[in-house]
Structure 1
Amino acid sequence: MTKPPTAAQRRIIEAADPATGRLTGSEAQLAGLVRHRLAFRHPRPPHAYFLTPTGHRLREGVQAPAAEAPGPPPDAPAPSGLFAARTGAEPAPPPTERPAARARDVRSAWEGLLEMRRMTNPDSARDRPCAWERTHLVQAAALALEAAGCRPGAGGYRVDATPQPEAVAVHEASPEGLRTCAGVLEAAGWQVSEHAERAGGTRYLLASPRRGRASK
């Protein structure tokens, strides 16, 4: 953000939907928030506008650090374009990171993804992955896990791409953690199966986005 938002823009931010961050306002005002990196425009009709994690922090009265990067690395796209869930392969978080702020960003990203499901799935289903998740498998699975409170990295989960179409591998440090990850992903609309590596027999999960509603 290069300069503070105007009073009118602040009113739009404060009036955002508290769960999804959806915004209402004139096209010019909303476009201005996008330029400030406080909002993003959904790529699918009706092209609604939503708060980014930075916008959510501003709405809640928490200013982001001045040195905060404006977006994720190029290889880590996300629903908002400004947030990347942790896959477990990243370096340890910096000591200056505020856990409460990170949790708020994760929650906002997850709510944004659920809203994307509602807006882009043909039946408006929020309990089944959408097209974005099928093209960003690792990030989508990692977001579901992090949003549920699972811990990434050493001692926690790691999400890896696989040669199989529409499948990721999820590793966990303990059998209990692996079962927890399986339950989280199944609840988030993924099909999950457990396997053993040929070398060493280490257990891991294969997870794929579910296409149809689960049978009763």
Structure 2
Amino acid sequence: MTRAPSAAQRRVIDGADPVTGRVRGTEAQLAALLRRGLVFRHPRPPHAYFLTPAGHRIREAADAAPADAAPADGPVADPAAGAGVFAARAGGADEAAGAGPARVREVHSAWQGLLELRRMTNADGAADRPCGWERAHLVRAAALALEAAGHRPADGRADGYRVRATPQPEAVAVYAPDARALADCAATLERAGWQPGEYTEPRTGTRYLLASPRRV
């Protein structure tokens, strides 16, 4: 059985950036996490350390239980939201509302951090297409791209975009209040490096986007 991280190592993991997964700690702590496969060291300067998928699972495990109880088509919350850090808004009645200056700053900072993660982790340093973190967190990544571009997520008081997981690999469904809003969401996702296509639900006739991260 794999030994659990020490208390000091857990503090490093828990303190990782919620968007990029970048971690900071002493050289000894980072080296130990690297040996255990919980972080990786980026090959380009400044040779920062980031959580691996295994590291992300450990970070999210403590807060995952409440999220696991949510319905499959419900809003996808950031597991760290309870700790007061940034959470992408996928659109849902039980998500926190508000789009004041503080939220605008948070979204802008998160988006800039994600662009930096793209530059650091895409093999060619490209920032115009999604990276591995986004492929592992499709709903949160697509929601962040939309909110960062100024789209309003749905909440208990107003309609807006909704991003939902789908059974298809590397694809999310995006809903909007009307055809114009849906087209605007498609344009935003395309600029952000996604490939959106418009479809119709057979039973309801509802139009929606099926969007996947672009690879090239």
Give the TM-score category using the shorter length. 0.5 to 0.7
Q: CA 1:43 to 1:181, structure 2 compared with 1: closer, same or farther past 3 Å? A: farther
2:189 matched residue in structure 1: 185
SS in 1 for 2:151: coil
1:209 matched residue in structure 2: 213
SS in 1 for 2:123: coil
| Structure 1 position 87 matched with structure 2 position 93 | no
Asked if 2 retains the 8 angstrom alpha-carbon contact of 1:120 and 1:130, the reply is yes
Q: CA 1:211 to 1:126, structure 2 compared with 1: closer, same or farther past 3 Å? A: same
1:162 matched residue in structure 2: 166
1:140 matched residue in structure 2: 141
Asked if 1 retains the 8 angstrom alpha-carbon contact of 2:194 and 2:214, the reply is yes
Alignment of structure 1 residues 92-171 onto 2, 5 Å? 93=96, 99-153=100-154, 154-171=158-175
In the TM superposition, what whole-angstrom CA distance separates every residue of 1:84-106 from its partner, at most 9, and x where no partner exists? Answer: 11000252536xx6710001000
Alignment of structure 1 residues 26-105 onto 2, 5 Å? 44-45=41-42, 46-47=47-48, 74=64, 75=67, 76-77=77-78, 82-91=85-94, 93=96, 99-105=100-106
| Structure 1 position 199 matched with structure 2 position 200 | no
Normalised to the residue count of structure 1, the TM-score between the two structures is 0.63
Deviation at 1:185, TM superposition (A): 0.2
Percent identity of paired positions between Structure 1 and Structure 2:
57
1: CA distance between counterparts of 2:185 and 2:213? 14
**Which runs of structure 1 show a deviation greater than 3 angstroms over 4 or more consecutive aligned residues?**
73-79
Asked if 1 retains the 8 angstrom alpha-carbon contact of 2:89 and 2:95, the reply is no
What residue identity is the alignment partner of 1:207? Answer: A
Normalised to the residue count of structure 2, the TM-score between the two structures is 0.63
**Unaligned ranges ≥5, structure 2:** 1-19, 30-38, 51-62, 68-76
**Unaligned ranges ≥5, structure 1:** 1-19, 32-41, 50-72
Alignment of structure 1 residues 7-22 onto 2, 5 Å? none
Q: CA 1:145 to 1:200, structure 2 compared with 1: closer, same or farther past 3 Å? A: same
Of 192-201 and 85-94, deviating more is: 85-94
Deviation at 1:155, TM superposition (A): 1.6
1: CA distance between counterparts of 2:87 and 2:120? 21
Asked if 1 retains the 8 angstrom alpha-carbon contact of 2:78 and 2:88, the reply is no
Q: CA 1:98 to 1:160, structure 2 compared with 1: closer, same or farther past 3 Å? A: closer
In the TM superposition, what whole-angstrom CA distance separates every residue of 1:128-174 from its partner, at most 9, and x where no partner exists? Answer: 10000001000000000000000001421000000000000000011
Greater fraction helix? 2
2: CA distance between counterparts of 1:195 and 1:47? 41
Task: State the superposition RMSD in angstroms.
Answer: 3.2
1:173 matched residue in structure 2: 177
2: CA distance between counterparts of 1:86 and 1:159? 9
What residue identity is the alignment partner of 1:142? Answer: A
1:35 matched residue in structure 2: none
